[in-house]
Chains A and B, each alone.
Chain A
């Protein structure tokens, strides 16, 4: 199963003020802090990465100029090259088999309802349906989301993950990682200086 696909997609959620069911809710968004979820089972390692647009491309507005779009395109291409971002210790023998990265543009509301309005950039598509939507001005931010699957020869030998990630994205300062392995769940903070996750 080697499916490496590229998806550049932007979802614009309705501002909470106009949410139809009166349900208002915001998520946390901290510049400089990415979130990583990592699960290990059998020979598979799965990772989900969520990075603020600020960390990856240095801006958080909807990309409109050619330069912005190129930056986003480049960033997504870089996020797709999993082996340049994460380095497992050699003994585990892990190699990426799947990578997906996308850009989400949130218009103040991070909550994904079924009735969310979606708008599409460029020629790309997503599963939210095609609806025209007028953008309200407001607290807007963007988030890159990436999903990776690695296959390893021996996950029991997997002890550390290094993050050359920080070399590619200079605005990224910290990754808050949560992981689940045979030994249980845990969390760790990985930063620019100590770009390494040690699994217990």
Chain B
């Protein structure tokens, strides 16, 4: 009965109530959206690398090395000489080591030089391996393997010729050396999807005529001649290392960090990620704080709306009193109205959130590599929704108590 009355009362004031509900809905969508992006980003990052014990690069910061070598974001780290790489590779503790060489691009995608071992050793999302959707690994100097997004965006098929450019977003292209697509990787949801993979020797080959940074004068070195050349790489960007026993990780890390011939840095991917979250955590908290304030603002708006409606509803309340409603019933009704508004607002907010997720999911994935899963709300999110509704009930108590006092004073008569 009271529920029906409260609902009817809301319907009767559809416009103001509708605006209030919309404000609550948008604030809830924002609040949950921030939470989704936050957890989505964390999971996407954590899923990108697994099974690698150490990442080795030039001495920089552990976060910088991780971001550049694995996620291809942030500033480039210095290169590591091939000699140091071999010294590490020859260590007894090292089970496997995969070199990575970055710095070239193909259209908007990064080119990564590595060895075929990368396809076996690189693991993501809790130990899953890379799969070939089509074709196979690198067999020839001019073979490339492209990630799923590269193939999809540029419409590549196995066997297509491509041109690899020198430097990122550079206009000079290495058009005298044709590469061929040997394989296309299945979608992984990691930066590998947006990478063109070639052999380390190929990286050297495309720079044969570019010793000074610009294309040297005279005719280009013929492809046949390049094939005869010694394409042993001089430097790499980083290396992924797996050790034989986990107990040796810290020992090897210390050896690499204290390697005196060259300033090197070895980081544990999991530890570096946690370091990143410690930094990002401050900004995350600020975002959560701001979006919580937006929810609070919407609730205060609702409170103001109820307050301003009290005067125009004094007659209505007098009638309720006349038909036998106690002042407590009136208080309860106003709180119930507020709870209804908040609940409808929260539900609508969830709808807006999922609609937004469906629209922005592909974009966030393509632009930032952040996968926002569309799944049922987590327990935590349900708790947040519950908290919003509770807060609405509390906020409505203030005008409801005023209504309670007014109706005590007014009784069945209204003196306006």
User: Which positions in A face B, CB cutoff 8 Å?
Assistant: 23, 37, 39-41, 44, 46, 48, 111-113, 178, 180-181, 184-187
Contacts and interface: CB of A to CB of B under 8 A. Distances in A.
A48 B269 CA distance: 19
A120 B53 CA distance: 36
B415 interface: no
Contacts of A40: 246
B260 A178 contact: no
Contact size range, B? 10 to 19
A37 B250 contact: yes
Nearest to B250: A37
A39 B274 contact: no
15 contacts: A39-B246, A41-B247, A46-B247, A113-B260, A180-B53, A180-B246, A180-B268, A180-B270, A185-B249, A185-B268, A185-B270, A185-B271, A186-B270, A187-B270, A187-B275
B247 A44 contact: yes
Given A23-B260, A111-B260, A48 B271 contact: no
A23 B259 CA distance: 12
Contact of B269 (A37, A44, A46, A185): A185
Contacts, number: 42
B16 interface: no
A107 B153 CA distance: 58
A150 B246 CA distance: 14
- The secondary-structure label for the interface of chain B is helix
Contacts of B260: 23, 111, 113
B245 interface: yes
Nearest to A112: B258
A178 B246 contact: no
B269 A39 contact: no
Interface string B261-305: 000000011110011000000000000000000000000000000
B247 A39 contact: yes
B50 interface: yes
Contact of B258 (A111, A180, A185): A111
A180 B250 CA distance: 9
Interface string B190-234: 000000000000000000000000000000000000000000000
Contacts of A185: 53, 249, 268-271
Given A41-B245, A185-B271, A178 B50 contact: no
Interface of B: 50, 53, 245-247, 249-250, 258, 260, 268-271, 274-275
Contacts of B269: 185
A187 B63 CA distance: 14
Given A178-B268, A185-B270, 8 more contacts: A23-B260, A39-B249, A113-B260, A180-B249, A180-B270, A185-B249, A185-B271, A187-B271
B247 A186 contact: no
5 closest A-B pairs by CB: A185-B270, A41-B246, A185-B268, A37-B250, A187-B271
B341 to A, nearest CB: 41
Contacts of A180: 53, 246, 249-250, 268, 270
Nearest to B245: A41
A39 B243 CA distance: 12
A31 to B, nearest CB: 21
A44 B246 CA distance: 10
Among B53, B246, B260, B274, residue most surrounded by chain A Cβ atoms (within 10 Å)? B246
A132 B274 CA distance: 44
B250 A178 contact: yes
B32 to A, nearest CB: 25
Among B245, B250, B274, residue most surrounded by chain A Cβ atoms (within 10 Å)? B250
A149 to B, nearest CB: 9
A75 to B, nearest CB: 23
Contact of B274 (A112, A181, A187): A187
Contacts of A184: 50, 270
Nearest to B127: A184
A41 B250 CA distance: 13
A200 to B, nearest CB: 9
Nearest to A41: B246
Contacts of B258: 111-112
A83 B393 CA distance: 53
Nearest to B54: A185
A183 B246 CA distance: 12
